[in-house]
Structure 1
Amino acid sequence: MRTVEMRASLHGARTIMQVSKPESAQGKPLSYRPDIDGLRAIAIVSVVVFHAFPDAMPGGFIGVDIFFVISGFLISSIIFRQLDQGRFSFTDFYVHRIRRIFPALILVLASCFVLGWFSLLPEEYRQLGKHMAAGAGFIQNLVLWKESGYFDVESDMKPLLHLWSLSVEEQFYLVYPLLVCGLWRARMPLRNSLVLLMLASFALNLWWVAQDPVKTFYLPFTRVWELLAGALCAFGVMRKGVAFSTSSFRLPHLPSIHLRSVLGLALLLCGLVLIDRHRYFPGAWALLPVTGAVLLVSSGPQAWVNRHLLSRPLLVWIGLVSYLLYLWHWPILSFMHILTPTRPGAPLPLAAVALSVLLAWLTYRLLERPVRFGAKSWMVPALLALLLSVTATAGYNDFQRNGLSFRLATHYAEQPLFVGTTDATCTADGGAGLEFCRQSRPGAPTIVVIGDSHAWHLYDGLASYAAQNGDIIGMRAVGACLGFSGVSADTKRHDCAPARDSIASAARQASVRTVVLSARLDIYDRELPGEVFEGALRDMLATLTAAGKKVIFVMDIPILDFHPKYCLDISMPLRPKTTSLPNCAIQQAVFAQHTQHYRETVNALLRQFPQVQAFDAAAPLCDHQQCWAMKDGQLLYRDYDHLSTIGSTLVAQTLWPLIHPIPQPGLRAAATKASPARKRS
């Protein structure tokens, strides 16, 4: 049997078979398939466009699912063929993976570490260090899953977020060869075993996706079916010995490879158009990209789409560098967001994509090819493994040492932000299971704050005043859920209805005199039908007033169009200067325009409930020209739309006299009652 050396990529570059009249185990010839690189090109272009211009291709993230199918196919082709030939070696398999994956990964991790040194604040750099260690250890998907939550850092601010998919594949590569070799040597039915595993993984994916979409998205157990779909394509090839025959994996009513390839492309296009981030994904929706990729791969290089479209030189070249482009593009886009105080316009993402393509090509020519196809000494993979370990250690050291704050030329003090969303006192008093549940001290609360996360960020300020007056204040809320209405602005939110009774019962307790309702109203006004939004508010107000509660309705705070951390005067070589945000504020006219519709809706509704008092939370934060994110050198916000502890205290200073009309010693505040004639919006 003549030597066949087949090197397959993970996400990107070209599949190369270095052959001398290559043959399969049955003597049938094999050849390089440019259409596989073309399919990779479709996948990586989809992902890059989605990340750079998400509105242009809302389903572009399905490119990762296409990569999973290709990876399962290529890796299985290697393993099956070498097992058939009796020459499979775990050492050779993992050495090839190290040569393929490690060089560019080390370069990208090191580049992010250096760039972050000169641009990231300590808490940002600390998170980067954690993600470096997780990415180098191929557990980034698990770390991101554990980090996920309502107040997780925005994805744009995580330069190594994209390594989750690489982690899923590496976890697959660690287990899969052992499983296949064990089944092969035990002479167990390999195809049937893979089918059962694929179906089990797919079923788990369907079961979990509505209960916990984040877990389903990141964990390997609910993703492995996509890789196994590619593996079954490879099985059909190896068993029949005919290049990409599907005799053992035949699809009914598709006798023509040309029709199969056209249908496969159509399914991919449908996925790009129909799937977006609001869908439960992967779930059943992932069948579109996975089935489409399976049809295209199984069609073979002679199918019309594969030969005339996927084998175009430009697509083949993009596929050649696609793994490298995948590694480079997201850190560059992420640092672009981090280093741009306001939302970047179209030219910046275009420049970032162009730079990513250039770096991918240079990395391929100067690093990947020399390492992959250079000297075969054992020292090369050993050195790569050592360098990746050093990179992981550097990241973990950064994480353990809180972001290496000594890098800053001037003293930097972290701004006080909220630290907790739940506490034991609250959960013990009937708030178990709520995302935001806090109580100032044990006992029956006299004041309850309900809503979503905009109820949570008022709590600390109000709790400080409640402690002075003998009140017990409780907060019950769920992110993106409008009070106890059970209505959500997020279609993926599945815990609003279950939390409804818990929040409502807390608000209706006999001990409660005052209920404060606070939510990010612009989201509900924009995402919900008008009658649903108004009906939810009306039902809550009617329930609370009928129960004899004093109700205070909070008109929401301004939403920033920049991150408040850019207001900090930090001297770093690549950090944007505060001169780019000289006032650290948004224009009051912009705020008024943004909130006009929901304020008109709410004001009209409140006229039906004259006993409900309205409080304008924007009043302490705005003057007639601007709404501030920082005052007297202290941040009033923790992110784009949530107050810091200082901001919460400032708003509570004005809100508290409305809760307790009798002026308290030391308080210099005046309540304001919103009306159509006096709008802060």
Structure 2
Amino acid sequence: MTSTDTQMARPAPAARPSAFRPDIEGLRAVAIGLVLVYHAGVHQLPGGFVGVDVFFVISGFLITGLLIREIERDGRVSLRRFYARRAKRLLPAAGLVLVVTAALTLWALPVVDRRAFGWDIVGAALYVVNWVLAGRSVDYLAEDVGASPVQHFWSLAVEEQFYIVWPLLLVLVALLVRRHARLRVRPVMAVGILLIVVPSFLWSVHYSEASPNAAFFVTTTRLWELGIGAFVAIGATQWGRLPRAVATVLGWAGLATVVLSGLLLTSEVTWPGSAALLPTLGTAAVIVAGFVHGNRGPARLLAWKPAVWVGGLSYSLYLWHWPLIVAATALWGDLGGKRGLLVMAAAVVPAYLSYRFVENPIRFSGSVSRSDGLALSIGANFSLVGVAAGLALVLAVPITAPSAGAASGAAALEDGAGQTTGPGSLASLAEVEGFVPAPVDAPDDVPVGYADDCDVDVTEDDLVVCEYGNPDGDLTVAVIGDSKIFQWQSAIDAVAEEQGWRLVYLIKSACPFTAALPVAGGAVNDTCVTWNDDALATVADLQPDVVLTSQRSPFAPTSRETPDDRTTEAMEDGLVERWEELAELGIPVAVLLDNPAPPDLSVYECVAENLQSLEECAFDRETGIAESAALTQRAAAERVDTARVVDLTEHVCPAEECVPVIGDVLVYRQGSHLTDTYVRSLTPVLARELVPVVEELAGD
């Protein structure tokens, strides 16, 4: 996504490897066009994300070519000069965009996202945000965090990390060549690249299948793409010898491959696995063809002046377009293709202004060019400004007034039972002066099991067994299911400690313990199928006295071929089958009914935006029950003699309207999950309801 100093030389014959390449600027225009149209939401270009891969190849080519020429000319690489050029070229514009993005976030985006986005801006300023986003992509607890306004910085972070590592490798190459006169720079460098490209590509293919969300962002799955560009740079002295006819065919085939990748690939394809070879090799082919002077390939088309102008502006366009898209979406909802394109067009204005008045003045300043130290200092200061903007956004998050005393939560319901104006009623919200946790802290208000890594990620199929309670207890309860049973851990553990139970947890996010087909991301989740089989086998070996379970989803597909055709009957049958399998093993089931689920409402986000009007965040009780898995669970339990239900609905939503705060405690966090603070307040209630059921089942 970056331009190099070599791109500012005067035009010269294309065969010279150090010459200005207007066709490469035009190729940048193609890449940024793909990205912008894709991010605008134009469905006719479902694979526009490949534009980033095009940028990677171009960057690998230009940076490697620059470094090779320096080694061949001087016999060494000046790291100070190299990093100074990168600093003055890239960091000023990035710092400016991060400051503006922080302001846009403060103005337009939800309060509950500001802290996370503030840290994202810090990560973007330090060029490690790709790892931050990779971690969040596999964090089930981050499911409600919206699209980060600096999400696009992930690719810049990959390139910056490449810029740090790659020159160091070339320094070693230069030293090796100087010590061994027979060695030549380019062949030795080719071997060095192979040692990076091959493992990176193999890892990309594997990791993209194993953890596609994280694989998209991490550096290790992308290095091979920059390496392809580096290979092209290494062969620069040879490509000009290609026959013109071969170069012509190669160039057009390469450009067609890039464009068709944008038109035909979709987000369903595993990325960046082997499929990423299409746009990357296509880009390499276009660059190689451009070395052959006079061929009839796409170089002349790409060198069209408007395309070259757009290509020169591509870095600024890339920086500015995404924050504007995120802010516009937050203000107006789903933009659609037409309004998305208007936002993209609007991004040209700040992109040009920053290019004209920030990037170029610093980049071409005589004093900055003469002093590597000054260039490095300017770049570092702009990065620090970005860090400061992110930290300021974090500190600007408002904090709600805490509860005046110990949080009462569900305990308050005992005193106000049956009162229409008591705790849990709409009228009670007018009396709320403070509550815990604060809405911005709600996503982190979770049981200790998450910190203990007891929850298996949605994309993983490993079986993790965690034990709590009394390890020598005479009664063993296996707690199995998804995050909806895990949300009760604090209360379950407290009951187990009091009763002397041994607890064994088998938890996987978005994966109910059922024989029905599970779904994640619109497709059958095979990792959940595998996990279910392993969990059943583990339970058979463990032989607990009781299995305690719950789940979020009331639906399951009717067949593997139709994952979108989901019914409550299919899930009910799957639960019955699983519980009857347990019955055959002599293991009964206690079913903790799912709590009412807010329909199309993120309660804690709503509370953050309506601290003075909490009633805006209430929802209909019957609708909440219908949206939850409770009715499906109850229907399944009625069909299995060894199953019993435990129903705490009255203590989560005691009135006709489910309220967001009960007894100075925020009830909900992400989705329909309960805050751990509220769950803890329910411990006495859970003990009263659960203990008799477990003792009955274990006694049977």
TM-score (normalizing by structure 1): 0.76
Q: What is aligned with 1:543?
A: 581
Structure-2 separation of matches of 1:201 and 1:471: 48
Report the Cα offset of residue 53 of structure 1. 3.2
Q: What is aligned with 1:300?
A: 290
Report the Cα offset of residue 477 of structure 1. 0.9
1:39 equivalent in alignment to 2:30 = no
Report the Cα offset of residue 583 of structure 1. 2.0
Matched position secondary structure for 2:7: strand
Tell me, yes or no, if the aligned pair for 2:38 and 2:48 is still in contact at 8 Å. Answer: yes
Q: What is aligned with 1:236?
A: 235
Residue identity in the other structure for 1:53:
G
Q: What is aligned with 2:252?
A: 261
| Deviation sequence 1:410-442 (CA, Å, 0-9, x none) | 778643621433577989xxxx96568463443
* Greater alpha carbon shift after TM alignment, 295-304 vs 36-45: 295-304
Structure-2 separation of matches of 1:626 and 1:311: 64
1:66 equivalent in alignment to 2:104 = no
Report the Cα offset of residue 107 of structure 1. 0.8
1:326 equivalent in alignment to 2:318 = yes
Instruction: Note the 1:23-422 alignment, pairs <5 A.
Output: 30-33=19-22, 35-53=23-41, 58-86=46-74, 89-115=78-104, 124-146=113-135, 148-152=138-142, 154=144, 156-183=146-173, 186=177, 187-188=183-184, 189=187, 190-213=189-212, 216-240=215-239, 242=240, 255=246, 257-258=248-249, 260-262=251-253, 264-266=255-257, 268-270=259-261, 273-276=264-267, 278-300=268-290, 306=298, 310=302, 315-335=307-327, 344=334, 346=336, 353-377=344-368, 378=371, 380-388=374-382, 390-391=384-385, 394=388, 403-404=394-395, 414-415=437-438, 417-422=445-450
* Structure 2 CA distance for partners of 1:208 and 1:486, relative to 1, 3 Å: farther
* Structure 2 CA distance for partners of 1:579 and 1:499, relative to 1, 3 Å: same
| Deviation sequence 1:33-66 (CA, Å, 0-9, x none) | 2x43343334334434544539665543333222
Q: What is aligned with 1:439?
A: 468
Q: What is aligned with 2:506?
A: 476
Residue identity in the other structure for 2:509:
G
* Structure 2 CA distance for partners of 1:327 and 1:434, relative to 1, 3 Å: farther
Residue identity in the other structure for 2:667:
L
| Deviation sequence 1:262-310 (CA, Å, 0-9, x none) | 454235434653342x544222222222223223333339777735764
* Structure 2 CA distance for partners of 1:647 and 1:21, relative to 1, 3 Å: closer
Report the Cα offset of residue 561 of structure 1. 2.7
Structure-1 separation of matches of 2:684 and 2:349: 54
Tell me, yes or no, if the aligned pair for 1:209 and 1:282 is still in contact at 8 Å. Answer: yes
Q: What is aligned with 1:516?
A: 549
Structure-1 separation of matches of 2:451 and 2:299: 61
Report the Cα offset of residue 202 of structure 1. 1.2
1:637 equivalent in alignment to 2:653 = no
* Structure 2 CA distance for partners of 1:226 and 1:637, relative to 1, 3 Å: same
Select 2:602's aligned residue among 560, 563, 566: 563
Residue identity in the other structure for 1:261:
W
Tell me, yes or no, if the aligned pair for 1:46 and 1:63 is still in contact at 8 Å. Answer: yes
| Deviation sequence 1:500-556 (CA, Å, 0-9, x none) | 434653487444234323243447789476698677534412212223333244356
Matched position secondary structure for 1:99: helix
Q: What is aligned with 1:451?
A: 481
* Count of aligned pairs: 626
Structure-1 separation of matches of 2:376 and 2:533: 57
* Structure 2 CA distance for partners of 1:510 and 1:123, relative to 1, 3 Å: same
Matched position secondary structure for 2:478: strand
* Structure 2 CA distance for partners of 1:356 and 1:334, relative to 1, 3 Å: same
Structure-2 separation of matches of 1:305 and 1:605: 66
Q: What is aligned with 2:425?
A: none
Tell me, yes or no, if the aligned pair for 1:425 and 1:438 is still in contact at 8 Å. Answer: no
* Structure 2 CA distance for partners of 1:426 and 1:91, relative to 1, 3 Å: closer
Q: What is aligned with 1:497?
A: 530
Tell me, yes or no, if the aligned pair for 1:264 and 1:291 is still in contact at 8 Å. Answer: no
Report the Cα offset of residue 488 of structure 1. 4.7
* Structure 2 CA distance for partners of 1:14 and 1:663, relative to 1, 3 Å: closer
Structure-1 separation of matches of 2:599 and 2:612: 17
Structure-1 separation of matches of 2:451 and 2:18: 66
Report the Cα offset of residue 611 of structure 1. 4.8
* Structure 2 CA distance for partners of 1:592 and 1:300, relative to 1, 3 Å: farther
TM-score (normalizing by structure 2): 0.74
* Structure 2 CA distance for partners of 1:333 and 1:648, relative to 1, 3 Å: farther
Structure-1 separation of matches of 2:453 and 2:234: 57
Structure-1 separation of matches of 2:575 and 2:344: 45
* Structure 2 CA distance for partners of 1:235 and 1:488, relative to 1, 3 Å: farther
Tell me, yes or no, if the aligned pair for 1:438 and 1:475 is still in contact at 8 Å. Answer: yes
Structure-2 separation of matches of 1:61 and 1:556: 39
Report the Cα offset of residue 228 of structure 1. 1.0
Matched position secondary structure for 1:356: helix
Q: What is aligned with 1:612?
A: 643
Structure-1 separation of matches of 2:164 and 2:13: 28
* Structure 2 CA distance for partners of 1:495 and 1:332, relative to 1, 3 Å: same
Contiguous gaps of at least 5 residues in structure 1: 1-10, 570-575, 665-681
Tell me, yes or no, if the aligned pair for 1:521 and 1:556 is still in contact at 8 Å. Answer: no
Residue identity in the other structure for 1:540:
R
Structure-2 separation of matches of 1:632 and 1:425: 31
Report the Cα offset of residue 145 of structure 1. 4.0
Tell me, yes or no, if the aligned pair for 2:516 and 2:571 is still in contact at 8 Å. Answer: no
Matched position secondary structure for 1:98: helix
Structure-1 separation of matches of 2:235 and 2:4: 22
Tell me, yes or no, if the aligned pair for 2:477 and 2:504 is still in contact at 8 Å. Answer: yes
Report the Cα offset of residue 365 of structure 1. 2.0
Tell me, yes or no, if the aligned pair for 1:520 and 1:556 is still in contact at 8 Å. Answer: no
Residue identity in the other structure for 1:330:
W
Tell me, yes or no, if the aligned pair for 2:144 and 2:670 is still in contact at 8 Å. Answer: no
Residue identity in the other structure for 2:322:
W
* Structure 2 CA distance for partners of 1:71 and 1:663, relative to 1, 3 Å: closer
Report the Cα offset of residue 327 of structure 1. 2.0
Structure-1 separation of matches of 2:618 and 2:381: 45
Residue identity in the other structure for 1:361:
Y
Instruction: Note the 1:644-663 alignment, pairs <5 A.
Output: 644-646=675-677, 648=679, 659-661=690-692
Report the Cα offset of residue 370 of structure 1. 1.6
Structure-1 separation of matches of 2:400 and 2:531: 50
Matched position secondary structure for 2:488: helix
Report the Cα offset of residue 387 of structure 1. 1.0
Structure-1 separation of matches of 2:495 and 2:597: 23
Matched position secondary structure for 2:49: helix
Matched position secondary structure for 2:589: strand
Residue identity in the other structure for 1:546:
E
Structure-2 separation of matches of 1:625 and 1:311: 67
* Structure 2 CA distance for partners of 1:420 and 1:496, relative to 1, 3 Å: farther
Q: What is aligned with 1:7?
A: none
